[in-house]
Amino acid sequence: MTPSSAQEEVGGVAIAGVRSGEDAVNRNSMDRTLNNDVPRSGLATGWGDEVNSKISYTSFVRASSKPTGKIAMIRYNDTDGAASMGVNTKYKTSGLQSAAGGLVEWGVKSGWGMLPSYSWRGDRMIIGKKGKTYSLIVKNKSANRVEVVLSVDGLDVIDGKAASVRKKGYVIAPGKTLEVKGFRTSESAVAAFKFSSVGASYAHISGADTRNVGVMGMAVYHDKASWQEARQRGGASPFAEAPRNQVRR
């Protein structure tokens, strides 16, 4: 599936999988026990208004079953929550940052611009505001297609279920930018990402596990065909070696 609106210039995406009902029940029971039904403070992501976002389909074969580089992660909270976690807002970094060994740049957009990032215990933190919508922005900096699997609050952005790097994601053409505005609801629309309380979050109201609220994740994959071609060309020699006894004089 591929977002095909003017703001979502993507090559394609494949259908995501599902998790078992039994696993969901067990994890939800554990989550309720850990939370002890006490309302949690800070931000999560709610189910916003429907936004048009058409998709199409394309093929993509991963060069490896493992993501390229480390799985990228962005943590988020409101101002009070970030302060309680010890985030120092003096250490601000750019809203778009490199990931997957430089293959892509990504960040969070809200309103007219990117939300700035802050350093926190070696991680990246952004500060949002309850009620505001946001988008995930991913720029393909490479010369080949890449596939990105994205999650919000531990949920896959395509099927809204438990996230996994084994699921399929969005395919971004070389030099293009993907804007993911919400959890996909159909081939033509998404439910906007909206900063909310934990109690009003999609993870909570859908009965999913809420222990992973406050984090966004991304796994990036090479295209097998282009990766193999690039590797072969990188090892090409300018001269073909000839047998010594056939060298011209």
Q: What is the pTM of this model?
A: 0.79
> 45: pLDDT confidence band, cut at 50, 70 and 90?
very high
Assess contact for 184 and 19: CB atoms under 8 A.
no
The pLDDT of residue 238 is above 60: yes
Residue 150, beta-bridge partner list: 218
What are residue 162's phi and psi, to 5 degrees?
-50, 130
Cα separations in angstroms, 229 against 132, 145, 160, 172: 44, 13, 35, 18
The pLDDT of residue 236 is above 90: no
Task: Read off the pLDDT of residues 178-205 as tens digits, 9 standing for 90 and up.
Answer: 999 999 999 999 999 999 999 999 999 9
The amino acid at residue 166 is R
> 43: pLDDT confidence band, cut at 50, 70 and 90?
very high
So what's the pLDDT on residue 208?
Answer: 83
The pLDDT of residue 239 is above 90: no
The pLDDT of residue 21 is above 50: no
Percent of the chain with pLDDT over 70: 77
> 11: pLDDT confidence band, cut at 50, 70 and 90?
very low
Task: Read off the pLDDT of residues 84-128 as tens digits, 9 standing for 90 and up.
Answer: 999 988 888 889 999 999 999 999 999 999 999 998 888 899 999
Computed over every residue of the chain, the mean pLDDT equals 83
Assess contact for 150 and 73: CB atoms under 8 A.
no
**Which residue has better confidence, 80 or 247?**
80
> 12: pLDDT confidence band, cut at 50, 70 and 90?
very low
Query: What is the Cα–Cα distance from 175 to 229, expressed in whole angstroms?
Result: 18
So what's the pLDDT on residue 145?
Answer: 95
What is the rounded average pLDDT of the residues 33-52? Answer: 79
The pLDDT of residue 1 is above 50: no
Query: What is the Cα–Cα distance from 136 to 142, expressed in whole angstroms?
Result: 19
Of 1-5, 102-106, 168-172, the range with the lowest mean pLDDT is 1-5
The pLDDT of residue 54 is above 60: yes
Indicate the pairing of strand 177-180 with strand 133-140: antiparallel
